[in-house]
Structure 1
Amino acid sequence: MAMEKQAVITETHHRQVTAIGFHPVRREILAGFEDGVIKTFEAEGSKLVHTSWEHQGWITAFLYWTEGKVMFSSSNDGYIVAWASGGGVFDKIRVGSPVYCMALHVRRRQMVCGFNQAIRVFSLDEGGAVQPSAVADKDGSHLIHIKSGSTSTEHTDIVRCIVCHESRVYSAGYDSKLIIYDSSSYPGHRGLSPVFINHKAHEAGISTLVLVKDTENNTWLITGSFDKVVKIWSQDGKLTHRLDGFISTVTDICYVPKNKTLWVAGGSPIASLFDPKSGENVSDFIGTFQESEANEKYHIQLLKYFPELHQVVASTSRRHLIVWKYNPSACITALKCKHAVECLTYTKKVPILIFSGGNDGEVHKWERLQSNHFMYSKEVFPMSEAYSKLAQIKNIKRQAAAKQTLRAIGRPTQNTQHDRTLNQNNVVDKHKSALLQALFVEYLDLLLIASEDGNIYCWGFDDAAVDALKGMKPVGFEHLVKKYAILLNDDSELLINRCDQEIQEKDSVTNRVAGFICKNVLTGHNNCITSMVLVGRDNGYHSTYLLSSGWDRRICIWDLEKASLHDTFRNTSPNNSNDEELACDGIVIDMAYCPKRNEFAYASSDKMVYIRKFSEVGSDMTLCNTLQGHDAEITQVRWNKVTDKWITGSEDGTIRIWSEDGMTCDQILATHGAVLALCIDLKNGSIVAGVQNTIKVYDSQTFKLMQTNIGHSDSVRSIIHIPDRNQYISASWDKTIRIWNAYKQSKKKRLQKLDEKRDENSRHTANNPNYSVDSMYTPC
């Protein structure tokens, strides 16, 4: 949901662009130049359509009058030209003085023009719009009634900007004044009455003025000046934000309501993007200018937003025109990292936290700020702490093994010199291994990070800090609650019983501000760990188990509540001639769990997916089925709990949808590229696939391609869905994390799918009372 570059018009004119406009009927972009030339270009194709030479001086402004279907152009040659819908000159009005800006007062059918030290208000004649120019010259009538206009002379220099809104007219000029006029239409009053004058709104002349009104009915005035400052004012002229740091004069400002951003041209080759509500610079979090524009040397001068086509058009110092267009499938936010990103996970509790890991071995925590939906705070977890924890665990194991050896040979276990030698040899490799998988366990508030060094690092909230925060109550707090209990409502949180209070405190956000520490390291694999799945207590077990596997082809069963290795998979089949701990012939690439059938599937490099029953005992994980059909390495496997299907993706450029028991392949989707990441939409069951550097969304019923998200410049490695925000989050090797709007099914499709699910629920209730249609909205 961002503005993306659509076109660059390089061959415009040999003189500088001084004004930009848009003809909504003809759907053309107008560019006015220093020598009075006006050129029109196709808004979609950027092709030159027409060139005119009606003016003799700088083109200063364009204005379209909807009721009269007329386009006006003004110049410092003292003329206003009215252009007909066909493109020819309809009327040419001589005003006698250079016109520097124009605005329409729709409520009173007036044109307000800015001159040197004056503002003039002219009535518009809609009837005159049907008269040809020759008749207008003959009887003296024009579209604009020049002779009956009123003048206001509060300004002392050129009036460069005028904006009309409801009954107010706002003006600013090179005299640094910001003036608010009232244009009430009481009898006998035709002009403007100043109601507010700021004589020193800026330290230098004001070059641009826009009025912004967002979807929440917030209204602001934004001014830019030669003093390199942008100021945001309330509707009645009170200063709310000051934006500085621009390298040159602020030449133009425009507001894009689609993503609620303010674009500012201030001497840079890229526009600075701001949130007008908070006044914060959000440029680093929006992907519009994160590519090649930063390397260009020609700065942006003029900016105009055209709501008819959701386009922003800018002129540059090189006389180019650049066109950006709103793309609803573009990313909302782009978070920049220093290294390629491999894995993502998130917490479902409020505040929602996003965790990422990459090939630099660092774990990043991202949290969206409250001020706007673009900006995210970033925290980097110190991996030195994790490696220190790993060193402690290795040291304890070595000491235990050494003591056991000494006991076996009959020597005393109190060998201080031997222990000192072990500590000296315990050197942790400072090379940071890539982090390949991430998983957050909500029940335990535990972040699991699988690394290529064969370890699983367990990060959790600092328990000591949590306890300290929970204990921070004022002295005599409980006494005050008891004393003034009569003043509290019956449902007051202060009057809940102690048991409920303890539960509430446990689930509160107190621990979310306590910080993460590395609590443990699970060591058991001897090579890269590529997959992890969780089997929790809600699946009928007495503890929380984690399955992990990777390049060593072993499947480990971890008891997370005890933080220990519970068991490993063992193939007890009589036909097995290999090591009984090997789960397949190739390395394990991905893994998924099906809670409905209590089965887990893992994809292997041998082009097969194995489906086994889950058991706490490694030797009881019986093989249920295998999924065969892909022609290349299978990279992803997922269980779609909305449709009760297995989903697999492969480097052969296909996605296969399998039946619940894995016996048949129901559908094959051609993705036209290797599938490197896979995600299931938790609301509608859509298949979200990372196909090389593109994200493609397929409907779970029709299997049609419904949405394509383009923005990454390298392979997409991980995708997650946050249903509470209706967003997809993707991580890529291009060193960015991008946030997209999720695919929304039509209401008719959603109701149809819900009815089908209810019918299926009624069929399963007799055999499985725990199965419910409501579970389709809860992620695995």
Structure 2
Amino acid sequence: MEKKINKPIFLGLMILLSLNSPAKAEHLYKSYTVHNSGINSISVNHNGDTIFSVGNDNQIKITDLETGLNKATIKQNSPITALASSNDDNYYATAGSDGSVKIWDAKRNILVKEINIHLKPVTAVAFSPDGKYLISGSYDKTLQVWDIQNEQAMKKLEGHQSYPRDIKFSPDGNLMASCAGDDDAIKIWSTRDWQVKTVIKVKNTYFNTLSFSPDSSMLAVGGDDKSIKIYNANNNNLLKEINNQEGYISAVKFSQDNKYLFSGDSDKNIKVWNPKDWTLVKTFKSSSAINSLDSSYNGKYIISASSDKTIKIWKNRSLNNIFTKTPHQEQINSVIYSPDQKYIVSAGDDPFLSINSASDLNSERQIKDNSNGINSLAITKAGDLMISGGNNGTIKVWQTKNWKNISIFKESKSPIQAIAISPNDNNFVSGADDGKLKAWSLDKEKSINTMSFSEKIKALAYSNDGSVIAAGIGKKIIIWEASTWKQLASVEAHNSSILSLAFNLNDKKLVSSSEDGTVKVWNVNDMSTIKNFTNVGTVNHLVFSSNGKYLAGATKKDIKLWNTDKWTDMETISGHDGNVQTLSFSPDNRLLVSGGADKTIRLWELEY
């Protein structure tokens, strides 16, 4: 690896830099270690303030969702395998490995009834929506229906060739579904007469988990074949099979508003799916395989439990697509917020600049441009000028008060791939496919420096204090002192072309992305690698939030978010139908706009 560092200059530069440690901003909202061994099942009450959990440590734990404080602990004599809450939150039931089913008063946490009607360990329990019945499944391969009001066994349901792994009632109370993994069968029962209405059998699937949609129209099931299958609950037709899984499916759960289907798997993933088209919305990565999932009633939080003894709470609604518009006829290459946050400018492969309302993305004005497509946009901190770099080698300066083109710079026919403006708004730099790096004076409207390289220049960045300039030239990162153009560092940074560069808020770190599928975080002082995100995929654009807390990356159909405090993954957001090419944070850090190959710009609201 080639590495040339002029340390004295960098040490001097670092002394002058202000220290700024961004506040922690995790995608993971809370993590509580509440058990002494693996957790088997969790349930969240409808108020969304209390988590009930059971595990192999023979304990029932009642935990405050926001604080993690223990509200109650109930010790048993054997491991507890499953848990269910009644819809009115008055009761919860536990399934014991000793063969018992226990009903508890949820307010006082006292035992109401112990039921001993199974011959072997109990594996699943479920309350009917009206709270009249409790059903349990056991290693004895039976389901037992218990009449809660009359305190008596009503019906023994038989037919599974293995133990039931999950039991769920439809929200309307008309159906009950059960799955027994080893017999590859889902049984749908009528609650009117407790007879089997139909059997869904899929060879070598080993079903583990079930969830009815809130309107009772769909049944989601997951199993060891790493797929989620969606069935019409009325006629049992297969509506969709989702195979985008890395591990066996251990939990599925519809949100109460039917906007999401959550899934948990053995590969530590929690995935969020859109039931409208079954596209993947986002993925959360946990620290251990997921054993159980639930969500708060409003879908804001997802709660997971694992064998690592932890309950984790995830912010589901942390980045929400609130507007989608199609202001262009071709791929969008660049989007940028105005400093006053009143508008968003977008440009791409079609011959138009689109001036879009920042509030709803409606295109307020379209300006025809003859640059044969625009690859890069940059706007001054004052917001009075915007610069565009075109495919025909032209650089244009636009006056934003009337959107008039006031200057045109043209040095070659090679496409301009990158533009960066100095923080004091005096100068800007441009990079082109022909390897030309040029510095320009905005005031004097002329070139003040030119460098030629043998490889394309696709990435440029000024440090936030304006003292240094970084360029991605082929696989290299080269850094210069901005005032003298003295080279400070040259690093063979990636295995393929560099696509994007960005300095963090205090200029101590530089991030880079490449066609090699990695994102790297560099210590600017000596250009050593702080963090290397591998297998990320091609990240076309990187951008920091203005408060420095978040880093966003534009990838293939996804937006990735990282926490800059510890450089950890926060979230992966899906939504675009093609490559995401460009991103821009709003100045107040509340919003993120994206543009891509699907010709759309999308506005996302952050709820961190």
Please give the range of the TM-score, normalised by the shorter of the 2 chains: 0.5 to 0.7
Q: In the alignment, is residue 330 of structure 1 matched against residue 319 of structure 2?
A: yes
Cα separation, 1, equivalents of 2:217 and 2:61: 34
Q: Aligned partners of 1:149, 1:259: CA distance in 2, in Å?
A: 32
The aligned residue for residue 123 of structure 1 is 147
Q: Hey, what does 2:110 align to over in structure 1?
A: 89
**Quick one: distance in 2 between partners of 1:232 and 1:202?**
16
CA contact (8 A) 1:118 1:153 kept: yes
Shift of 1:547: 1.8
1:272 corresponds in structure 2 to 271
Aligned-pair CA distance for 1:222 = 0.9
Q: Structure 2 vs 1, CA of residues 10 and 122 (structure 1 numbering), >3 Å: closer, same or farther?
A: closer
- Residue 577 of structure 1 aligns with which residue? none
* 1:104, distance to aligned residue in structure 2 (A): 2.1
Counterpart-to-counterpart distance in 2, 1:300 and 1:531: 53
Q: Which moved more, 1:446-455 or 1:5-14?
A: 446-455
Map 1:727-738 to 2 at 5 A.
Answer: 729-730=592-593
Within-5 A mapping of 1:12-27: 12-24=34-46, 27=49
Q: Could you tell me whether the CA contact under 8 Å between 1:120 and 1:151 is conserved in 2?
A: yes
**CA separation of 1:588 and 1:75: change in aligned 2, threshold 3 A:** same
For 1:452 and 1:101, the matched residues in 2 are separated by: 57
1:300 aligns with 2:324: no
CA contact (8 A) 1:226 1:249 kept: yes
Deviation of 1:11 (Å):
2.8
Distance 2:389 2:299 in 1: 50
Counterpart check, 1:31 vs 2:31: no
Q: How many residues of Structure 1 are paired with residues of Structure 2 in the alignment?
A: 397
**2:167 aligned partner:** 162
Give me the whole-angstrom Cα distance separating, in 2, the residues matched to 1:121 and 1:8.
Answer: 37
The 1:330/1:246 distance shift into structure 2, 3 A limit, reads: closer
Match of 2:73 in 1: 51
Aligned-residue offset at 1:711: 6.9
Letter in 1 for 2:593: S
> What does residue range 133-532 of structure 1 map to in structure 2 within 5 Å?
145-146=151-152, 148-165=153-170, 166=172, 167-174=174-181, 175-184=183-192, 191-198=193-200, 200-213=201-214, 219-235=217-233, 236-257=235-256, 260-283=259-282, 289=284, 293=285, 298-307=288-297, 310-327=300-317, 330-332=319-321, 347-348=326-327, 355-357=332-334, 442=366, 444=368, 449=374, 521=392, 523=394, 529=396, 531-532=398-399
User: For each residue in 1:579-635, what CA deviation from the matched residue of structure 2 results, as whole angstroms up to 9, or x when unmatched?
Assistant: xxxxxx97389xxxxxxxxxxxxxx999xxxxxxxxxxxxxxxxxxxxxxxxx99xx
Partner Cα distance (1:160, 1:263) in 2: 18
Task: Go from structure 1 to structure 2 and tell me whether the alpha carbon gap of 1:549 and 1:268 turns closer, same or farther (over 3 Å shift).
Answer: farther
Q: Distance in 1 between matches of 2:204 and 2:369?
A: 53
The Cα shift of 1:270 comes to: 2.4
Instruction: Label 1:244 to 1:334 Cα distance change in 2 as closer, same or farther (>3 A).
Output: farther
Paired with 1:605 and 1:83, the residues of 2 have a C-alpha distance of: 74
Cα gap change, 1:691 to 1:716, in 2 (>3 Å): farther
Report the Cα distance in structure 1 between the residues aligned to 2:160 and 2:44, rounded to whole angstroms. Answer: 29
- Cα separation, 1, equivalents of 2:348 and 2:405: 25
How much has 1:442 moved relative to structure 2?
A: 3.8
- 1:49 Cα offset (Å): 2.8
Taking only aligned residues, the RMSD between alpha carbons, in angstroms, comes to 4.9
Distance 1:353 1:4 in 2: 35
> Aligned to 2:129, which of 106, 109, 125?
106
Using structure 1 for the length normalisation, give the TM-score.
Answer: 0.43
Return the letter of the residue paired with 1:320.
T
Which has a greater percent of helix?
Answer: 1
User: How high is the sequence identity, in percent, across the aligned residues?
Assistant: 15
Cα distance in 2 between the residues matched to 1:445 and 1:276: 40
* TM-score between both structures, scaled by the size of structure 2: 0.54
State whether residues 437 and 532 of structure 1, in contact with CA within 8 Å, keep that contact through their aligned partners in structure 2: no
Residue 741 and residue 89 in structure 1: after superposition, are their counterparts in 2 closer, same or farther (change >3 A)? Answer: same
Q: 1:96 to 1:178 in 2, by over 3 A?
A: same
Q: 5 Å matches for 1:584-623?
A: 587=426
Q: What are the Cα deviations for residues 118-151 of structure 1, in whole angstroms up to 9, with x where unaligned?
A: 22222121xxxxxxxxxxxxxxxxxx623x4111
- The structure with the largest strand share of the pair is 2
SS of residue in 2 equivalent to 1:251: strand
Distance 2:29 2:389 in 1: 47
For structure 2, the residue ranges without an aligned partner over 5 or more in a row are 1-24, 337-346, 357-362, 379-385, 411-423, 429-440, 444-464, 467-504, 507-544, 551-559, 565-581, 596-600
1:45-84 matches, within 5 Å, as 45-64=67-86, 66=88, 69-84=90-105
SS where residue 100 of structure 1 aligns? Answer: strand
| Mapped partners of 2:137, 2:52: distance in 1 | 21
* 1:640-681 alpha-carbon deviations (Å, 9 max, x no partner): xxxxxxxxxxxxxxxxxxxxxxxxxxxxxxxxx99xxxxxxx
For residue 262 of structure 1, report the CA deviation from its aligned partner.
2.0
Q: Do the aligned partners of 2:349 and 2:373 also contact (CA within 8 Å) in 1?
A: no
1:359-410 residue CA offsets vs partner (Å, 9 max, x unmatched): 9xxxxxxxxxxxxxxxxxxx9969xxx9xxxxxxxxxxxxxxxxxxxxxxxx
Q: Distance in 1 between matches of 2:216 and 2:401?
A: 46
Q: Is the 8 A contact 2:41 2:55 kept in 1?
A: yes
State whether residues 83 and 124 of structure 2, in contact with CA within 8 Å, keep that contact through their aligned partners in structure 1: yes
1:605 & 1:522 partners in 2: Cα distance? 18
Contact 1:79 1:92 in 2 (8 A): no
Q: Show CA shifts across 1:185-234 (max 9, x none).
A: xxxxxx40112112x23413211011123xxx582111111232221111
Instruction: Assess if the C-alpha contact under 8 Å between 2:47 and 2:297 holds in 1.
Output: no
1:225 to 1:88, Cα distance in 2 relative to 1, 3 A? same
Q: Is the 8 A contact 2:123 2:163 kept in 1?
A: yes
User: Post-superposition shift, 1:42?
Assistant: 0.8
* Shift of residue 85, structure 1, vs aligned partner: 3.9
Change (3 A) 1:40 1:218: closer
CA displacement at 1:719 relative to structure 2? 4.9
Conserved in 1, the CA contact under 8 Å of 2:177 and 2:187?
yes
In the alignment, the residues of structure 2 paired with residue 451 and residue 170 of structure 1 have an alpha-carbon distance, to the nearest angstrom, of 55
1:353–1:253 distance in 2 versus 1, CA, 3 Å: farther
1:11 maps to 33
What CA distance in whole angstroms lies between the structure 1 residues aligned with 2:59 and 2:219?
A: 31
Considering Cα pairs closer than 8 Å and 6+ residues apart, tell me whether 1 or 2 has the greater RCO.
2
Question: For 1:259-308, what per-residue CA distance to the aligned partner results, in whole angstroms no more than 9, with x for missing partners?
Answer: 8232222222222332334333333xxxx63xxx3xx6533332112316
Structure 2 CA distance for aligned equivalents of residues 90 and 305 of structure 1 = 26
Q: 1:529 to 1:229 in 2, by over 3 A?
A: same
Deviation (angstroms), 1:17:
0.7
Identify the residue that residue 775 of structure 1 maps to in structure 2. Answer: none
* Counterpart residue identity of residue 163, structure 2: I
1:91: Cα distance to partner?
1.8
- Structure 1: tracts of 5 or more residues without a match: 126-143, 185-190, 336-345, 360-378, 387-435, 459-517, 536-545, 555-584, 590-603, 607-631, 634-672, 675-689, 696-709, 721-726, 744-780
Distance 1:270 1:32 in 2: 21
Amino acid at match of 1:221: L
